[in-house]
Structure formats: structure tokens, C-alpha cells
Amino acid sequence: MLDARMDLNAEAHALVKKYRLGNRIVYESQARERHRNATKEHLESTRDQPSWSDGMNAQLLGVGKTFYRLARASVSATMAALSLRITVDSLIRGEHVECESMDELIEAERAVKEAATNLKGYLEEAATFDGREEVVEF
């Protein structure tokens, strides 16, 4: 189990909103990735259709297969939506994570710590950004 929360001051919170960082994904579980890939595969398999010259039975079977594949794709999409996804906004609100394995828990914790470090650096840079050009010579 992992409980994570980012505390931001008002200035940092304003920068997160200004640069639209709230929807930035910090971590996605392996289950979410599996379900998302399964959704894509099911949708791609709906392209396999009988030709127009095939008989009525083949046409009806093709329609039945298409509906079956669409149903499987919608179930996979629903499962993906219910799987763990951590964003900057969800970390600001506070996130409670229960993982199936220790490896997944360690990976989620590492991702949250890395995201906090990256966000801190990004916000420090954004706070000094005033829109002027900066020439860097190599």
C-alpha cells in the first residue's frame, strides 16, 4: 500500500494550472497498459470482414463476430479506465495505491518520487521564465 500526496504552495499551484501540468501522467499500472493494448487489438480485429460476394450465412457470421469483438473492446476499455493511473492532479489531491505485487509497489513509489523531482525542477524553471530569448552557444 502506498499513500502519496504533493503539497504545493499557491505560486506552484498557479504554475501547474498555467502550464497545464495537471493531466501529466506520472504512473500507469501494468494492468492498465495490458487492457489498453487488448482494446486496440479487439478494435483492429473488427476489420476482418467477409467479402460482399460471400453468402448470407457468412455475412451474418461476420456481423456477429464484429459485435462480439466490439463488446470485448468495450470491456477492456472499461477495465483500463478502472486500473491505476496517477497524474499530477491526483497527487495534489492525494492518491491511495494498492498494488498486486511488491515489484509494482516499488515501481509506483519510484515513479512518484521521480515525478516530484521532475515537477519541482519544471516549476523552478517555469517561475523564472519570462518569455525572453536565451541564446546558448555550444
pLDDT tens per residue, range 40-83: 888 888 887 777 778 888 888 888 888 888 888 888 778 766 56
The torsion angle over the Cα atoms of residues 125, 127, 128 and 129, rounded to 10 degrees, is 80
Number of Cβ within 10 Å of residue 49's Cβ equals 13
pLDDT tens per residue, range 117-138: 888 888 888 777 777 777 888 8
pLDDT of the residue at 83: 65
* Per-residue 3-state assignment (H helix, E strand, C coil) for 78-99: HHHHHCCEEEHHHHHHCEEECC
pLDDT tens per residue, range 4-51: 788 888 888 888 888 888 888 777 766 677 778 888 888 888 887 777
The DSSP call for residue 101 is S
Rounded Cα–Cα distance for residues 106 and 101 (Å): 9
Report pTM. 0.53
